[in-house]
Chains A and B, each alone.
Chain A
Amino acid sequence: MTTTDDQTAPGIIKIEQLTTHYGERQILDELNLEVNRGEVLVIMGGSGSGKSTLLRTMLGLNKATSGSVDIMGIDVVNANRKQLYQLRRNIGVAFQGGALFGSMSLIENVQLPLREHTNLDENTIRIMSRLKLDMMNLSGFDDLMPSELSGGMIKRAALARAVVMDPKLLFFDEPSAGLDPVVAAELDEYILELKQAMDMTIVVVTHELESAFRIADRITILDKGKMVITGTVDEVKQSQDQHVQNLLNRRAARDPISPDEYLDLLTRTKASRPIPGRIHD
């Protein structure tokens, strides 16, 4: 494990007192977090811990109630559309499901950011996109459509598209979700390679322990919208905190419930729906 927790390196992301709500439900609760240049930070937490919300808020996709998210000098929370788009040109994002466009072939998907943002000629675009595809071990699959790709290939393709513009900062949502352990480990290798070869800062959201331990310089654990711990892999492993231990030992965390409440839970006729609408963990 390499530690790049260099105190002199300026933070590429600074999150201060970040609070978000979904409807009336509070998701993130005065969260503070700093990501250093050149490190791999893994954000962990169970379902409903707010880790996806944190990611979406960092990307400017979700609005924050209060606080600030400073990425490369731009406050994402209060930025206008133009500033956000300027910032996003230096950011790569690989989504959980890949989010490839079904009407475009693999290589067209990867080329899309180049075509939209640069005036490069056709040959250069082809070479640059093939370089990235080759890096992700996808050479020779140029003309396949997303529907013809396997789960692992889709994730790799999404990663290739995310880094085709050589961003300084890469976000990866659940790299190993839905993959078998071998393919997941392969994907971790690619993440480490990107960090070393291209000097990227990488923020990964995941709930997979093995993956997190393999790639992380530092790990942040969230629980119910609060940060439980941020530290190196060893620091996290040695933490005595109950939430951390639950996560590490894969124990289900349950809030204590009184016998009366439990009886009510079992016997009430209609399940209460606290909040309508979609649920984002």
Chain B
Amino acid sequence: MINMISRLGQSVIYNCEQAGYLTLFLLRALGRMFSWPIKLGPIIKQLHFIGAKSTFVIVTASLTIGLVLGLQLYYELNKFGAVDRLGTVVALSMIREMGPVVTALMVIGRAGSAMCAEVGIMRTDEQLDALECMAIDPYRFLMVPKFWATIISLPLLVAISDVVGILGGYVAGVWIFDVPSGAYFYGMYSSVDWVDINMGLVKSFVFGLIIVWISTGKGFLLHLDREGSYGAEGVSRITTQAVVLASISVLVADYLISAFMI
């Protein structure tokens, strides 16, 4: 019994410590994001990796989700004779919820895991120590480009996701079920407000920050992991942790932002 309590205590202390280290990591990285000079080259390279290369998965995922939304909602709306509202409902779901969340989850899977593994390997391989020893700030050299690139990419990817999702709904509704094309777009035009777009925008910024923070932070702090940081096993463990933690954080943040902004 005492053993159990002691273990619980240890676990609480450990998790608080980790949360503290992660917070410090975030503050340091954010502080350096705005310190001059900001080098564009590395940011563009990361934009290519995190943003441009994620476009294909996000287009595919969003198209599928738009199609499914169109399909499912058509049957429900048809019961009430309100199929002309299909465009509105698909657009609002995409812009407010599905677009940001799907994009975030896809970016976590594709770029977040890669960033975490990359930084983690740099930690076990003493590359981060080597940077320190060359008097090169690892935050400025490695983290700042990733932070800028993720925070810039996410809103753009979300915008693409929204448009593609709405087109998916159009394909399902107009091409398959013969909903009038004009009704699909007119409903959208009259009911989607700036508030909705803003909500999507705020979400995408926050999600971007969460993704890059947790992915790089977990890798950066690998040497402080309770289970040890040895080699491939350590890197694979923290990458899993980072993906799970980032995904859950994104979903929790999604709820909180929706609750505050609705």
Stretch at the interface among B67-75, B79-87, B127-135, B150-158: B127-135
Give every chain B residue within 8 A of A112 (Cβ-Cβ).
134, 136
Give every chain B residue within 8 A of A56 (Cβ-Cβ).
129
Complex-state Cα separation, A218 to B126, whole angstroms: 27
State how many angstroms separate the Cβ of B147 from the closest Cβ of chain A: 18
Give every chain B residue within 8 A of A171 (Cβ-Cβ).
133
Is the Cβ of B126 less than 8 Å from the Cβ of A95? yes
- For chain B, what secondary structure do more than half of its interface residues adopt (helix, strand, loop), or is it mixed? loop
Give every chain A residue within 8 A of B110 (Cβ-Cβ).
none
Of A61, A99, A117, the contact of B135 (CB 8 Å cutoff)? A117
Of A91, A96, A97, A278, the contact of B133 (CB 8 Å cutoff)? A91
Complex-state Cα separation, A51 to B234, whole angstroms: 24
Give every chain A residue within 8 A of B223 (Cβ-Cβ).
278
Give every chain A residue within 8 A of B133 (Cβ-Cβ).
59, 61, 88, 91, 93, 171
State how many angstroms separate the Cβ of B216 from the closest Cβ of chain A: 15
Complex-state Cα separation, A254 to B133, whole angstroms: 36
Asked if B125 is at the interface of the complex by the 8 Å CB criterion, the answer is: yes
CB within 8 Å for A85 and B127 given contacts A277-B226, A278-B229, A278-B230: no
Is the Cβ of B226 less than 8 Å from the Cβ of A93? no
Contact with B along A157-199 (1 / 0, CB 8 A): 0000100000000010000000000000000000000000000
State how many angstroms separate the Cβ of A262 from the closest Cβ of chain B: 28
Is the Cβ of A88 less than 8 Å from the Cβ of B126? no
Q: How many residues of A contact B (CB 8 A)?
A: 27
Asked if A116 is at the interface of the complex by the 8 Å CB criterion, the answer is: yes
CB within 8 Å for A97 and B134 given contacts A276-B226, A277-B228, A278-B228: no
Is the Cβ of A113 less than 8 Å from the Cβ of B126? no
Is the Cβ of A95 less than 8 Å from the Cβ of B132? no
CB within 8 Å for A99 and B127 given contacts A59-B133, A93-B133: yes
Of A86, A88, A96, the contact of B134 (CB 8 Å cutoff)? A88
Task: Return the chain B residue nearest A116 by Cβ.
Answer: B136
State how many angstroms separate the Cβ of B128 from the closest Cβ of chain A: 9
State how many angstroms separate the Cβ of A23 from the closest Cβ of chain B: 11
Is the Cβ of A97 less than 8 Å from the Cβ of B125? yes
Interface residues of A in 73-101 (CB under 8 A from B): 84-86, 88-89, 91, 93, 95-97, 99-101
State how many angstroms separate the Cβ of A255 from the closest Cβ of chain B: 25
Complex-state Cα separation, A89 to B132, whole angstroms: 10
Interface residues of B in 179-230 (CB under 8 A from A): 223, 226-230
Task: Return the chain B residue nearest A115 by Cβ.
Answer: B136
Complex-state Cα separation, A89 to B135, whole angstroms: 6
Interface residues of A in 227-281 (CB under 8 A from B): 276-279
Complex-state Cα separation, A60 to B129, whole angstroms: 10
Is the Cβ of B226 less than 8 Å from the Cβ of A97? no
State how many angstroms separate the Cβ of A275 from the closest Cβ of chain B: 10
Residues of B within 8 A of A (CB): 122, 125-127, 129-130, 132-137, 141, 223, 226-230
**A and B contact pairs by CB, cutoff 8 A, 8 listed:** A84-B135, A86-B135, A89-B135, A97-B125, A97-B126, A116-B134, A116-B136, A276-B227
